[in-house]
Structure 1
Amino acid sequence: MGILEGKTVLVTGVTMTSSIAYKVAEIAAAEGATVLVSNFGRALSLTNRIVKRLDPVPAVLDLDVTNDEQLAGLADQLREHGVERLDGVVHSIAFANPETALGGAFLSTPFNDVSASMQISAYSLVALTMACKPLFGGSASVVGLTFDARVSWPAYDWMGVSKAALESASRYLARYLGPEGVRSNIVAAGPVDTIAKKAIPGSSSFNEIWADRAPLGWDAADATPTAKAVVALLSDWFPATTGEMIHVDGGLHSTGA
């Protein structure tokens, strides 16, 4: 029996097979979960094609986390797919304008682009959690994804700031929702060769850093270690862990220069 047997989870941000969210959906299903996925806009058609590679093929929800009306209707949309109880939510959503907010443009980024990054990459964790909360049945696990924002990184710029806000938002969710049995945690992954990463100017340098410094080594083409950590946090194997950031980065976070 899998560690998610009998559980239902929503995985956002599933795009290509290289995405962490896709691998989470794949492993969660293999561990017994009923999986639903979401995306929106032009990416939705891509998601609908990609999920056909999963077995069983999950339901795909149309969800823009910046759209208040869609968020308000999310619980009903889940119920339409037969979901009466939601046990886990995976937040795999982030955006920053690569032309103005990434790649060394930090000091000149206009606030409109900063606010968009903060809303999509950080505030949406809270918005998504609260939209799903009516289906939490006394306990649930919320898991977000970050690229360790306790430090600055080359080229990461306002996405780094947004991820720092995401990490903090997760801790506050842990504080406020813990009494209701809801856990909120973050997985800090090493660089994974996703579409989002490739959109960051100069991001290839991350792979070189990890190749040089990660004690366990690191394969940027393999999202499996990160996805396994997410699935573990969705399970009952971390019943008293919340407000935490789990590093899955080959140990690089523990090293100095």
Structure 2
Amino acid sequence: MGILDGKRILVAGVTMDSSIGFATARVAQEQGATVLISNFGRALNITKRIAKRLPVEPAVLELDVTDEAHLAALPDAVREHVDGLDGVVHSIAYGNPATLLGGNFMEGPWPDVAQALQVSAYSLKALAQACKPLMGPGGSIVGLTFDATVAWPAYDWMGVAKAGLESCSRYLARDLGPDGIRCNLVAAGPLKTLAAKAIPGFEDLESAWKDRAPLGWDESDHTPTAKAVVALLSDFFPATSGEIVHVDGGFHAMGM
């Protein structure tokens, strides 16, 4: 018996098997869920290949969360495989590393900033709205953030986008709560992912975690973060919404 037995879960934004989304899909399957995953464009073929590495090969949907046609078609695409959703995972973010990261905050051009905000923050609302017809009381939406309460070295406009994501999650908790749908985020410490490789100076964050996280931190281990996401998807947090759960070895609670 797993804590997601009988649950139908969509994990949106799975590209590589080194991603948090992939780890979440794996743990969700291990806990009894029927899982669907999504991606779009040139990355879709990569997703279809790595889907075979999960315990059970899931259906792979094409979904660009910035494309209104894709969002409108999502409920019917999901219903081709399952009759509804109990949980949705938002594992989606993008910011042009050449213009928005690595010390480029003051020079970040608005078109690139706008794209980062749409893909990394607004898309949580867009995905929730698209999936709402498939969900009922007890449903759970979980997104992934990187603590946006402080300014990090090199993270720049992605930090602003994550702050928007965190605020968006709280407003979704407010507006979806009357329908019995929860919305929460998991704030992970720095993990080795495809996205992290694109951040100049990311190694400095990794070294800081190793020095200050009281539980220690393994940037190559995605499982603790995936387990937290799965816990929030389960029925074990029925009265928790608008929350940010830190999975960072305790780093966020430490001072100097």
Output the TM-score relative to the length of structure 2. Answer: 0.99
CA displacement at 1:16 relative to structure 2? 1.6
> For the residues of structure 1 that align with 2:18 and 2:210, how far apart are their CA atoms?
19
Residue of structure 2 equivalent to 1:119: 118
**TM-aligned CA deviation for residue 175 of structure 1:** 0.4
How far apart in 2 are the matches of 1:67 and 1:25?
Answer: 24
Aligned to 1:57: 57
User: Does structure 1 residue 162 correspond to structure 2 residue 191?
Assistant: no
Which string of whole-angstrom CA distances, capped at 9 and with x for unpartnered residues, describes residues 44-100 of structure 1?
A: 11100001011210000000000001100100110112x212000000000000000
Shift of 1:137: 2.3
Residue 18 of structure 1 and its aligned partner are, at CA, apart by: 1.3
Alpha carbons 2:136, 2:181 under 8 Å: kept: no
In structure 2, what is the Cα distance between the partners aligned to 1:139 and 1:239? Answer: 7
Residues 54-203 of structure 1 mapped to structure 2, 5 A cutoff? 54-81=54-81, 83-203=82-202
Mapping of 1:196-211 within 5 angstroms? 196-211=195-210
Residue of structure 2 equivalent to 1:232: 231
Size of the aligned set, in residue pairs, is 256
Deviates more, 1:11-20 or 1:96-105: 11-20
Please list every run of 5 or more consecutive structure 1 residues that lacks an aligned counterpart in the other structure. none
Name the aligned partner's letter for residue 28 of structure 1.
Answer: A
What residue is the counterpart of 1:8 in the other structure?
A: 8
> Whole-Å Cα distance in 2 between the matches of residues 152 and 166 of structure 1?
15
Corresponding residue for residue 25 of structure 1: 25
Equivalent in the alignment of 1:213 = 212
* SS of alignment partner, residue 61 of structure 1: strand
118-127 or 16-25: bigger deviation: 16-25
Aligned to 2:254: 255
* CA drift at 1:127: 0.1
Give the superposition deviation at 1:139. Answer: 2.7
**Secondary structure of 1:99's partner?**
helix
Amino acid at match of 1:214: A
How well do the aligned residues superpose, as a CA RMSD in angstroms? 0.6
- 2:47 corresponds to: 47
Deviation at 1:156, TM superposition (A): 0.3
The TM-score normalised by the length of structure 1 is 0.99
User: Residue 175 of structure 1 aligns to which amino acid in structure 2?
Assistant: R
Aligned-partner Cα distance in 2 for 1:137–1:211: 41
Q: Which consecutive residues of structure 2, in runs of 5 or more, have no partner in the other structure?
A: none
Paired with 2:246 and 2:136, the residues of 1 have a C-alpha distance of: 28
Deviation at 1:15, TM superposition (A): 1.6
**CA positional deviation for 1:138:** 2.6
CA displacement, residues 151-207 of structure 1 (integer Å, 9 cap, x when unaligned): 110000000000000000000000011010000000000000000001011111111
The runs of 4+ residues in structure 1 deviating greater than 2 Å are none
Q: CA deviation at 1:232?
A: 0.2
d(CA) in 1 for partners of 2:236, 2:174: 20
For 1:165, the aligned partner's letter is G
Distance 2:158 2:236 in 1: 31
CA deviations 1:193-232 (Å, max 9, x no partner) are: 0000010111111110001100000000000000000000
Looking at structure 1, the residues matched to 36 and 83 of structure 2 have their Cα atoms a distance apart, in angstroms, of 13
Measure the CA separation in 1 of the matches of 2:45 and 2:56: 18
* Secondary structure in 2 matching 1:60: strand
